[in-house]
A and B are shown apart, each in its own frame.
Chain A
Amino acid sequence: MRRRRKGIYSRVKDKTMPGLQTSEPGPSTESTSHALLGFLQSQSQNTLTRLYQRPSSCLSVFRLLGPLERQLVMNLLWMDSAIPASMMSAWITREGRKPYEGSLSILSKLHILPNPTAKLALNLTFKTSLRHAITGGGTSGSFGVPADRDSKHPSPSIEALDTYALERWETILHYMVSSGSGRYPNRPSQGVLLLLQRSGLMTSVQGSALQITSSGFQFLLHPPHAQLWELLLQYLHMAEERQMDLVEVLSFLFMLSTMELGRDYSVEHLSQTQTAMLEDLRDYGIIWQRRASSRRFSPTRLATTLTSSAPPLPTAGGAASNTQGQGFIVLETNYRIYAYTDNPLQIAVLNLFITMKSRFPNLVVGAITRESVKKALANGITADQIISYLTTHAHPQMRKNKPLLPVTVQDQVRLWELEKNRVKSQEGYLYTAFASQADYEYVLNYAKQLDVVLWESAAKRCFFGSIEGHANIRGFIERRTAGNV
């Protein structure tokens, strides 16, 4: 009797390992241009011109530009007439040619430099507004109207604002990270949940509770500044659908970014759209209000650092000395990790890719293991993201090492990622228990002619054929058995 078994045959691909990269990526691999610039470039000229009417928006857009673009804008800012393109390019060195061309095209896409081929002159609206921003004056009130001093309710201190922003922000992240485990700490507001869902960071399967997606896991490992902009960009996309005036939304964000930390601003001069935005921004921890109906608001550090690269969250750990920039992770060559933190969010994020061993009041000890990394990889996190997270949050003591992270660990994490790609599964049937050697060879030959044999073993008298060839082989065997009988 011949038995046929359906099964999965796994074959180890004999792939040579590609050369492992031992060079560590920089702590913050800064993208060449800001995420928002791409969004702005996709806007119409009309929208941008309306946006440029406000000096604070111009200042913020200017700050988002790269260094060379900024210099070009500055060179042209005080010119009253257009200058020939050749005159400007005379200032550019030979190495600067390529970046210069790129800068010109970015500026023209943003409609800051309307016609960069012939004569160079800034967009008139942009020029007027940026001049106003730099020299002061004008009547636009675009840097926020400060509220009168209120003796009854003094404005909150900077520490209070920081605590508030941090708490709000970590609530969002903590909600995301713990959604997979089934424990729900504090639910962020409905608006935040909607935003998370729309941005594809979390998803809800058939009306069940929200679950974090693989892009959500990746999001958690990004630096806070990038996370903030990622959410705000999504907010901008949603604003378009909600029929909100994009210019109003953008200029409000830019206004926030030029405001001063620890100061009250009045809501009276805000437009209707912007007043509606207050609620959303309060949920993200970008602004603080005493009551929802309060006539004043204070921007938090998340807001005032929108257009700078200063850390938007001052203290990510509970202890004041443990700052975001400082880092708290010590990684040893034996894959052990010591994380000096008591922050539940940081522990939860670490838990994504390490196996926890023990916990102390201010210290978590764990290890990077094959299982923990494979779990992370299965969640869609890449080896590079793990390595860059460890690099960014490395303890100052680690910074003395060169390279920063032990090479063994870096290599192993990458190898584990490659391992994931090493095994390839193919569905098929195993043909076994042939009555005689001749029988076996006869069928095998037929299968080989069809080119469906994946594996064979003459000693065990069995072979594995792919699923496509099964009908033929089965028919062949049946015909042969019928013929023999």
Chain B
Amino acid sequence: MDKASHLSIILDLSPTQWHLFAQPSPTNAHPLSLSSFLSQLFAFLNAHIACKDENTLTVYGAFPGKSILLYSSVNITASSSETEAPADANTYRPFKILDSTIATSISQQLDELSEMNEEAPVSLVSALTKSLCYINRNSNSSSESLSKTKTKLEELGVEAEAMLDPRVLIISVSPDQSAAYISMMNSIFSAQKLKVTIDVCKLYGPDSVFLQQAAHLTGGSYIYLERPDALLQYLTMSFLPPPSLRTLISVPTQDKIDFRAACFCHKQIVDIGFVCSVCLSIFCKPVPVCSTCRTKFPMKTLQRLNAMKPPTLPSNNLSNTANTPSPAASPAPSHRRTPSMTGTGTAGANSLPRSSTIGRGATTGTNGSAPPRNGDGV
């Protein structure tokens, strides 16, 4: 039970959001500056390393338009650290190297950002994908006992089976980017396959639909910090226990999850979507030809669905509950020959969907079983 665990941290480092977060305003009762956030984060990272000598850590920074590996405990060699951090009798050296490496690379990356780049969306998914690739590479190399990587790692004195029990912690301050829906969902499914737990700590901004789903689907916990000034305590109590320990210590999980999806055509989060019965692509309005699998839908179905559609449909109307129609509504054998666009809608914008349970269940089912295809053909 007392095994080493791996932690990948993904830091959302959007300069705009952190600037807003640091400003006290009526909507932002507990401002938190980046520097005080980092000092609390370092204490948390040190605590993770302190728990066990073999615990490994990687830190990825998600900057506007790019994602960078800020720190990796495996790649730190004695020669590279020698020059960077002068020895100090009062600090445990691995902690010092960790803190100084992350701090310097963050400030370096932020300085490099040009004015124009600052407005680009934060590449959170890219950082998540990179960390999953990292975990995958390391867990593969440990299972192949005779591979070259392992002998090399062992020569360096690194425990080769260090990647047991991996998990990812995303610390987010930016709102969702609906454009990243497909890639986000695909990374969630990869994480599920790799048995990687994704934890999410949301510091600022509105609740993130996609990250809620990521935590829910991988068995992690999603926490929206109400008191960012108590960040360290939140981090320690909720995100420090490795998954193996979570059978003994309960960590908070979210009580309600927003299961809404983003449409493949306009990349907007939709309350009511239309699902292609063949490839399960999601669209915000009925389309004659599925952009992903090129299936043609009969004219009649389109007319019927258009008629069912609520007259005015603001795409982000929150009064409508998530209700993505089920692909199961059309019988399976007929898929090939008579493709049909299925959909259930609500009559009025303010009334609840009649079959809300079906709608919810269907969306979860979609998420759980069939990964969305790459819908970039639009």
Chain B residue, CB-CB nearest to A400: B145
Q: Which of B22-80 contact A (CB under 8 A)?
A: 42-43, 46-47, 50-54, 78
Q: Kindly state the separation between the CA atoms of A301 and B158 in the bound complex, as whole angstroms.
A: 12
Given contacts A99-B248, A134-B50, A134-B95, contact A78 B154 (CB under 8 A): no
Q: Which of A128-163 contact B (CB under 8 A)?
A: 132-146, 158
Q: Kindly state the separation between the CA atoms of A105 and B247 in the bound complex, as whole angstroms.
A: 20
Q: Which of B272-327 contact A (CB under 8 A)?
A: none
Given contacts A71-B245, A91-B237, A307-B53, contact A263 B43 (CB under 8 A): no
Q: B93 — which chain A residues lie within 8 A by C-beta? A: 143, 260
Distance (Å) between the CB of A130 and the closest chain B CB? Answer: 8
**Could you tell me if B91 and A136 are in contact, using CB atoms closer than 8 angstroms?**
yes
Q: A310 — which chain B residues lie within 8 A by C-beta? A: 53-54, 157, 159
Q: Kindly state the separation between the CA atoms of A309 and B164 in the bound complex, as whole angstroms.
A: 14
Distance (Å) between the CB of B223 and the closest chain A CB? Answer: 14
The contact of A141 among B53, B89, B92, B151, by CB within 8 Å, is B89
Q: B87 — which chain A residues lie within 8 A by C-beta? A: 146, 263
**Could you tell me if B145 and A396 are in contact, using CB atoms closer than 8 angstroms?**
yes
Q: Kindly state the separation between the CA atoms of A92 and B145 in the bound complex, as whole angstroms.
A: 37
Q: Kindly state the separation between the CA atoms of A95 and B43 in the bound complex, as whole angstroms.
A: 30
Q: Which of A60-77 contact B (CB under 8 A)?
A: 62-63, 66-68, 70-71, 74-75, 77
Which of A184-192, A320-328, A336-344 is near enough to bind chain B?
A: A320-328
Q: A325 — which chain B residues lie within 8 A by C-beta? A: 154, 160
Q: A139 — which chain B residues lie within 8 A by C-beta? A: 90
B255 on interface, CB distance cutoff 8 Å: no
A308 on interface, CB distance cutoff 8 Å: yes
B2 on interface, CB distance cutoff 8 Å: yes
The contact of A314 among B42, B145, B157, B237, by CB within 8 Å, is B157
**Could you tell me if A71 and B90 are in contact, using CB atoms closer than 8 angstroms?**
no
**Could you tell me if B90 and A138 are in contact, using CB atoms closer than 8 angstroms?**
yes
Given contacts A67-B1, A67-B2, A134-B95, contact A74 B236 (CB under 8 A): yes
A30 on interface, CB distance cutoff 8 Å: yes
Given contacts A68-B249, A143-B89, contact A74 B47 (CB under 8 A): yes
**Could you tell me if A92 and B155 are in contact, using CB atoms closer than 8 angstroms?**
no
* Secondary structure class of chain A's binding surface, majority of residues: loop
**Could you tell me if A320 and B89 are in contact, using CB atoms closer than 8 angstroms?**
no
**Could you tell me if B47 and A140 are in contact, using CB atoms closer than 8 angstroms?**
no
The digit string for A339-359, where 1 denotes a CB below 8 A from any CB of B, is: 000000000000000000000
Given contacts A96-B247, A137-B91, A258-B92, contact A308 B50 (CB under 8 A): no
Chain B residue, CB-CB nearest to A97: B248
Distance (Å) between the CB of B114 and the closest chain A CB? Answer: 34
B20 on interface, CB distance cutoff 8 Å: no
Q: Kindly state the separation between the CA atoms of A100 and B52 in the bound complex, as whole angstroms.
A: 20
**Could you tell me if B151 and A93 are in contact, using CB atoms closer than 8 angstroms?**
no
A469 on interface, CB distance cutoff 8 Å: no
Q: B43 — which chain A residues lie within 8 A by C-beta? A: 78, 134-135
Q: Kindly state the separation between the CA atoms of A369 and B88 in the bound complex, as whole angstroms.
A: 57
A113 on interface, CB distance cutoff 8 Å: no
Q: A269 — which chain B residues lie within 8 A by C-beta? A: 89
Q: Kindly state the separation between the CA atoms of A258 and B249 in the bound complex, as whole angstroms.
A: 29
**Could you tell me if A77 and B236 are in contact, using CB atoms closer than 8 angstroms?**
yes
A305 on interface, CB distance cutoff 8 Å: yes
Chain A residue, CB-CB nearest to B145: A396
Given contacts A78-B233, A91-B250, contact A71 B241 (CB under 8 A): yes
Distance (Å) between the CB of A293 and the closest chain B CB? Answer: 22
Tell me the count of chain B residues lying within 8 A, CB to CB, of chain A.
43
A262 on interface, CB distance cutoff 8 Å: yes
B378 on interface, CB distance cutoff 8 Å: no
A391 on interface, CB distance cutoff 8 Å: no
B116 on interface, CB distance cutoff 8 Å: no
A59 on interface, CB distance cutoff 8 Å: yes
Q: Kindly state the separation between the CA atoms of A326 and B154 in the bound complex, as whole angstroms.
A: 10
A392 on interface, CB distance cutoff 8 Å: no
The digit string for B243-254, where 1 denotes a CB below 8 A from any CB of A, is: 011011110000
B240 on interface, CB distance cutoff 8 Å: yes
Q: Which of A146-204 contact B (CB under 8 A)?
A: 146, 158
Distance (Å) between the CB of B238 and the closest chain A CB? Answer: 10
The contact of B157 among A62, A133, A138, A301, by CB within 8 Å, is A301
Distance (Å) between the CB of B362 and the closest chain A CB? Answer: 32
Q: Kindly state the separation between the CA atoms of A458 and B90 in the bound complex, as whole angstroms.
A: 87
Q: Which of B82-137 contact A (CB under 8 A)?
A: 87-93, 95-96, 99
Q: Kindly state the separation between the CA atoms of A74 and B157 in the bound complex, as whole angstroms.
A: 28
A211 on interface, CB distance cutoff 8 Å: no
Q: A145 — which chain B residues lie within 8 A by C-beta? A: 89
**Could you tell me if A71 and B54 are in contact, using CB atoms closer than 8 angstroms?**
no
Given contacts A74-B236, A141-B89, contact A136 B247 (CB under 8 A): no
**Could you tell me if A143 and B145 are in contact, using CB atoms closer than 8 angstroms?**
no
Most buried by A among B240, B241, B249: B249
Distance (Å) between the CB of B317 and the closest chain A CB? Answer: 39
Q: Kindly state the separation between the CA atoms of A269 and B52 in the bound complex, as whole angstroms.
A: 28
The digit string for A297-323, where 1 denotes a CB below 8 A from any CB of B, is: 000010001011110001000001101
Q: B157 — which chain A residues lie within 8 A by C-beta? A: 261, 301, 310, 314
Chain A residue, CB-CB nearest to B230: A78
**Could you tell me if B237 and A75 are in contact, using CB atoms closer than 8 angstroms?**
yes
Chain B residue, CB-CB nearest to A72: B249
Q: A420 — which chain B residues lie within 8 A by C-beta? A: none
**Could you tell me if B2 and A323 are in contact, using CB atoms closer than 8 angstroms?**
no
Q: Kindly state the separation between the CA atoms of A396 and B146 in the bound complex, as whole angstroms.
A: 8
Q: Kindly state the separation between the CA atoms of A143 and B91 in the bound complex, as whole angstroms.
A: 6
**Could you tell me if B248 and A92 are in contact, using CB atoms closer than 8 angstroms?**
yes
**Could you tell me if A262 and B78 are in contact, using CB atoms closer than 8 angstroms?**
yes
Distance (Å) between the CB of A39 and the closest chain B CB? Answer: 19
A213 on interface, CB distance cutoff 8 Å: no
Chain B residue, CB-CB nearest to A79: B233
A56 on interface, CB distance cutoff 8 Å: yes
Q: Kindly state the separation between the CA atoms of A231 and B42 in the bound complex, as whole angstroms.
A: 37
**Could you tell me if A309 and B233 are in contact, using CB atoms closer than 8 angstroms?**
no
Q: Kindly state the separation between the CA atoms of A458 and B53 in the bound complex, as whole angstroms.
A: 73
**Could you tell me if A146 and B89 are in contact, using CB atoms closer than 8 angstroms?**
yes
**Could you tell me if A92 and B249 are in contact, using CB atoms closer than 8 angstroms?**
yes
Q: B155 — which chain A residues lie within 8 A by C-beta? A: 320
A295 on interface, CB distance cutoff 8 Å: no
5 additional A-B pairs beyond A100-B248, A136-B91, beta carbons within 8 Å, are A71-B241, A78-B236, A305-B53, A308-B52, A320-B155
The 10 closest A-B pairs by CB, nearest first: A308-B53, A96-B248, A136-B91, A141-B89, A146-B87, A145-B89, A134-B46, A396-B145, A260-B93, A93-B250
Q: What are 21 A-B contacts defined by CB distance under 8 Å?
A: A55-B92, A63-B53, A68-B249, A70-B51, A74-B47, A92-B250, A132-B90, A134-B46, A135-B43, A136-B88, A136-B96, A137-B90, A141-B90, A143-B92, A260-B93, A261-B78, A262-B78, A310-B157, A325-B154, A325-B160, A396-B146
